[in-house]
Amino acid sequence: MLKKRIIPCLDIKDGRTVKGINFVAIRDAGDPIELAKNYVKQGADELVFLDITATVENRKTLVNLVNEIAKEINIPFTVGGGINSVDDVEKLIIAGADKVSINSSAVKRPELITEIANQFGSQCVVVAIDTKFENNEWKVFTHGGRTITSLKTVEWAKQIEQLGAGEILLTSMNNDGTKAGFAIDITNKVSSAVNIPVIASGGAGSKDHFKRVFEMTKATGALAASVFHYGEIPIPELKNYLKEQKIAIR
Amino acid sequence: MIAIIKYNAGNISSVQNALTRLGCQSIITDEPKEILTADKVIFPGVGEASSAMKYLIEKKLDKTILAIKNPMLGICLGQQLMCEFSEEGNTKCLGIYNTLVKKFPNTDIVPHMGWNSFTKVDGTLFKNLKTIDNVYFVHSYYAEINEQTTAVCDYIQPFSAAMQKDNFYATQFHPEKSADIGEQILKNFIEI
């Protein structure tokens, strides 16, 4: 049986790992390569690295970091942040990234999804959606959650699939950083509306939150950062718990 | 020395990185001489079947591959291209395995992405491994089961997770991305 994936996310700024609390405050949580290797040892199923500064001068640092990560780790990993063109993707794929994650640039120019899929295959295109429930509907936000768009989340998810995305990384901004649990409602709506894998993100605070998102939605992966970084939920303990709860886990 | 076949189907460096971690020397090459004289050959692949096959034919790598006498391991798209025919772009492939490559029906999430185990494992590549071991898959097309199938995975329906004919080995999953289990499979291949 296909296993549900537990995915630690490492936010990268200037080659270091950080985690934004509600996308604003930032705390330092260490060296990305050491952290990544440690996660692999603990049984993480995949890793996501998000470059949250992503300025031009930092791109080279990121590509070098991706190169080092690819040498060290033996599980798949995704790189995101500041990707605007097929050219940006090519650099990261050549450096060893298995997938790239795009967000604001896909909203700005949806054809980018198709361009990347045509050149490197759908399997390497993850489209990240930052979503927030406001005025009674789930809307799409860009630029690290700072800019609201006119897109409705479920409609955008369907469009992403049509354009050739291989996977959706869905972050609820209402839940992110709260440790109150994943956004079951929108994760369920999006994962039922599309036929590509959906990763739930934002709000993980307990082992039970992971169980709930896997039982109550069609998400095939769950992503978290701080609960893993600060050792609040050790991955082996989480995976054992989920296995006991009869969730398919590696 | 292991030769990794260089062609237009991405992420070849991750195979080389995996071999380096196992202490194995490798070269990435499209030179027939280097491919045919290497102790082992790896035919990796992430990409689309028809454009990959077109490139192989243009560079005459199709003939080189069929002439390989030492053990060769096809990975992912590599395995699919070693079959008879692929529905992806209606592509005539290398025909090492007499089976077809089909698209998964949309009755469950496609691509089949993530860690999965087996319903059957057999043969050299799976020495010291069990059906409950998990490996990493990511694919929308699958090779049908035939007598050359050495491992079966069940997702939507049973399909060839690994195949072998003579010196030609292949896996649909990515051993280079499958943590310790993947390393064991690569070691088993290296030790043939």
Tens of pLDDT along chain B (192 residues) come to 999 999 877 668 899 999 999 999 999 999 999 999 999 999 998 878 998 999 999 999 999 999 999 999 999 999 999 999 999 999 999 999 999 999 999 999 999 999 999 999 999 999 999 999 999 999 999 999 999 999 999 999 999 999 999 999 999 999 999 999 999 999 999 999
Chain B residues with CB under 8 Å of a chain A CB are: 10-11, 13-14, 17-18, 20-21, 46-48, 106, 108-117, 134, 136, 138-140, 154-155, 174, 176-180, 182-183
Three-class SS of residue B171? strand
* Sign of the C-alpha dihedral computed for residues A134, A199, A204 and A185 taken in this order: positive
Q: Is B174 a catalytic residue?
A: yes
Q: Which of A11, A45, A88, A176 is catalytic?
A: A11
Q: Which amino acid is at B84?
A: E
Residues of A in contact with B185 (CB under 8 A): none
List, for residues A97-128, the tens digit of each pLDDT value.
999 999 999 999 999 999 999 888 888 999 99
Q: Does A70 touch chain B (CB under 8 A)?
A: yes
Q: Which of residues 159-178 of A touch B (CB under 8 A)?
A: 166-167
pLDDT of amino acid A26 = 41
Query: Is-contact A170 A199, C-beta < 8 A?
Result: yes
- Asked if A2 lies within 8 A of B114 by C-beta distance, the reply is yes
Q: Count Cβ atoms below 10 Å from residue B98 Cβ, excluding itself.
A: 12
Give the residue extent of every domain in chain B: 2-190
- Asked if A3 lies within 8 A of B13 by C-beta distance, the reply is no
- Asked if B179 lies within 8 A of A75 by C-beta distance, the reply is yes
Three-class SS of residue A114? helix
CA–CA gap between residue B76 and residue B142 (Å, rounded): 9
Q: Does A22 touch chain B (CB under 8 A)?
A: no
Q: Is B176 a catalytic residue?
A: yes
pLDDT of amino acid A25 = 41
CA–CA gap between residue B166 and residue B44 (Å, rounded): 19
Question: What interface predicted TM-score (ipTM) does this complex get?
Answer: 0.93
**Minimal CA separation from A34 to chain B, in Å:** 16
Structural class in CATH, domain B2-190: alpha beta
**Residue of A99, A144, A129, A134 whose CA lies nearest to A117:** A99
**Residue of A66, A123, A32, A239 whose CA lies nearest to B110:** A123
Range from A60-64, A66-70, A122-126, B69-73 carrying the lowest mean pLDDT: A60-64
Helix, strand, coil shares, percent, chain A, to 5: 40, 30, 30
The length of chain A in residues reads 250
Disruptive mutation site among A2, A37, A194 for chain B (greatest number of B CBs within 10 Å): A2
Of the candidates A45, A74, A95, which has its C-beta nearest B21's C-beta? A74
Query: Is-contact A100 A93, C-beta < 8 A?
Result: yes
Q: How far is CA A205 from CA A36, A77, A213, A217, B8, in A?
A: 20, 23, 12, 18, 43
CA–CA gap between residue A233 and residue A207 (Å, rounded): 7
Q: List, in sequence order, the alpha helices (H) in A78-125.
A: 86-95, 104-108, 111-120
Query: Is-contact B36 B30, C-beta < 8 A?
Result: no
- Asked if B138 lies within 8 A of A123 by C-beta distance, the reply is yes
**Minimal CA separation from A139 to chain B, in Å:** 24
pLDDT band at residue A32 using 50, 70 and 90 as cut-offs? confident
Give the residue extent of every domain in chain A: 5-244
CA–CA gap between residue B2 and residue B87 (Å, rounded): 31
Of the candidates A93, A122, A250, which has its C-beta nearest B115's C-beta? A250
Residue B134 CB partners (closer than 8 Å, separation 6+): A3, A250, B115, B116, B117, B178, B181
Q: Which residues pair with A127 in a beta bridge?
A: A102, A168
Residues of B in contact with A218 (CB under 8 A): 109
Query: Is-contact A198 A168, C-beta < 8 A?
Result: yes
Of the candidates A45, A74, A93, which has its C-beta nearest B11's C-beta? A93
Q: Which of A28, A130, A185, A208 is catalytic?
A: A130
**Residue of B178, B10, B40, B63 whose CA lies nearest to A40:** B178
Fold (CATH) for A5-244: TIM Barrel (3.20.20)
Task: Give ∠ CA B115-B116-B122 in degrees, rounded to 5.
Answer: 130
pLDDT surpassing 50 at residue A166: yes
Q: Does A100 touch chain B (CB under 8 A)?
A: no
Q: Does A113 touch chain B (CB under 8 A)?
A: no
Residue of A nearest to B152 (CA): A1
Of the candidates A3, A94, A166, which has its C-beta nearest B111's C-beta? A166
Residue of A nearest to B110 (CA): A196
pLDDT of amino acid A20 = 45
Residue ranges with strand state E in B21-90: 26-29, 40-43, 72-75, 85-86
**Residue of B74, B16, B25, B21 whose CA lies nearest to B45:** B74
Residues of A in contact with B13 (CB under 8 A): 70, 94-96
- Asked if A93 lies within 8 A of B140 by C-beta distance, the reply is no
Q: Which two tokens stand for residue A221?
A: 């992966």
